[in-house]
Chains A and B, each alone.
Chain A
Amino acid sequence: MDVTTIAAGVSGSLGVIGYGLAAIGPGVGVGLVVSKTIESIARQPELAAKLQVTMWLGIAFTEALALIGLATPFIFGV
């Protein structure tokens, strides 16, 4: 069975697959941000408060990509 015949059998919204793909990057990104923060806090616990603020900022920037992915179907149609 080649790819086209498999693809022909798929029904439903392509947007769902698109969003799944769009969520990979930010997912890895948020993971990296948090893991590095944990490492840094383990090394220097007295900096925890400062690092956490930076972590939330990093998460907010990274997460925005996934949320833009969530918003695109509403803007450009399903």
Chain B
Amino acid sequence: MVHALDLLNIAVAHQESGSGFEAPSIFEFYPQVVLFAGTPFELDRIMLIRLLVTSLLVFVFWLWARKFKSSAEQGKLVPSRFQLMGEISVDFVRKSIAHDQLGQKDGDRFLPLLATIFFITLGMNVTGIIPSLNIAGTSRIGLPIVMALAAYVTFIYAGVKAHGAGFFKASLFPAGVPAAFYILVTPIELLSTFILRPVTLALRLTMNMIAGHLLLVLCFSATQFFFFNATGIMKAFGAGTFLFGFVFTLFEILVAFLQAYVFTLLTTVYIQLALSDEH
């Protein structure tokens, strides 16, 4: 906490010295509280974005579900454009993630969780580059932790359901290792399977979003500084930083999608490892 305050002081000192350049800091991710200040339900910009994205997702999926159902009942063969969009999105998770890794039966069994994780992550990531929202809902670690815990509980549940206590035995004491090596192998397996898996899931997502946001802020605040505070030839640098900012924005779209994909894919692989017959 002390270190955090030091950082803030440095940032404030910079602004007071009137150089005009505001370097982004970690406090970007702790914006001003807007509603319910002082209660455990404090809402700031990130929380409001999360609520907005959640309600949008629920609304869109409700529309899609209604559309799927009505066209199935009417026996309509040609989907509308809106319905097709939904089918492509859900089928992407179903076919190229769930069915590919888990097979038809188990893939459909875990599809609700996988699809939820994928679309929440995608929706929350994308807000990082939407103008006027400008910060990813996943850029503070709470939400990724919740999703990592969901994945964690699910793969342990899948393993225990399939193999009972044999799941823990097989993951902690892998077969084909000489007995004496278990002194070394078991702690490593314990650490990597039951601790590092959820931790890296959550950290990977959050840190990608934090790094992406900081890069964008750096590019655009530098642009602003060069255009409005710099003099003479220095102004020209602004065009360069603006171009960088634009390119990084495109890159962030890719990262937003990729992180959602990777998070879902890793969850699927963990479930698949827990279900596999080696256990």
| Residues of chain A at the chain B interface (Cβ within 8 Å) | 53, 56-57, 59-61, 63-64, 67-68, 70-71, 74, 77-78
Q: Secondary structure at chain A's binding surface: helix, strand, loop or mixed? A: helix
* Stretch among B55-63, B156-164, B260-268 lining the A interface: B260-268
For B269, list chain A residues within 8 Å (CB). Answer: 57
How many pairs of residues, A versus B, come closer than 8 Å at their CB atoms?
41
Please report which residues of chain B, range 203-241, place their CB below 8 angstroms from some CB of chain A when the two chains form the complex: 203-204, 206-208, 210-211
Pair B3/A68 contact, Cβ less than 8 Å: no
Contact B211 A70 (CB under 8 A): yes
Contacts of A77 in B (CB 8 A): 2-3
List chain B positions with a Cβ less than 8 A from chain A: 2-3, 6-7, 26, 100, 200, 203-204, 206-208, 210-211, 258, 261-262, 265-266, 269
| Chain B contact residues: helix, strand, loop or mixed | helix
A57 to B262, CA, bound (A): 7
Are A53 and B200 in contact, CB atoms less than 8 angstroms apart? no
CA A71 to CA B201, docked complex, whole Å: 13
Other A-B pairs beyond A53-B100, A57-B266, 10, CB < 8 Å: A56-B262, A57-B269, A60-B266, A61-B200, A64-B200, A64-B204, A67-B204, A67-B207, A70-B210, A77-B2
Partner of B265, one of A56, A67, A74: A56
CB contacts (< 8 Å) of A70 on chain B: these are 207, 210-211
Residues of B contacting A68 in the complex (Cβ-Cβ under 8 angstroms): 200, 203, 207
B3 and A78 within 8 A (CB): yes
Contacts of B265 in A (CB 8 A): 53, 56-57, 60
Chain B residue with minimal CB distance to A65?
B200
Partner of A71, one of B100, B207, B258, B266: B207
CB <8 Å contact, A78 and B211: no
Residues from chain B with Cβ under 8 Å of A53 in the complex: 100, 265
The CA of A74 and the CA of B207, in the complex, are separated in Å by 11
What are 22 A-B contacts defined by CB distance under 8 Å? A53-B265, A56-B258, A56-B262, A57-B265, A57-B266, A57-B269, A60-B262, A60-B265, A60-B266, A63-B204, A64-B200, A64-B204, A67-B203, A67-B204, A67-B208, A67-B211, A70-B210, A71-B207, A77-B2, A78-B3, A78-B6, A78-B7
Nearest CB in chain B to that of A70: its residue: B207
Q: Which residues of A contact B3 (CB under 8 A)?
A: 77-78
- In the complex, the answer to whether B262 meets A71 with C-beta atoms within 8 Å is no
CB B141 to nearest CB in A, in angstroms, measures 9
| Closest residue of B by beta carbon distance from A50 | B100
Cα A56 to Cα B266 in complex, Å, equals 10
Q: Which of chain A's residues have a CB closer than 8 A to the CB of B208?
A: 67
**B77 CB, nearest partner CB in chain A, Å:** 28
- In the assembled complex, the Cα of A61 lies from the Cα of B7 at a distance in Å of 31
| Residues of chain B contacted by A78 (CB below 8 angstroms) | 3, 6-7
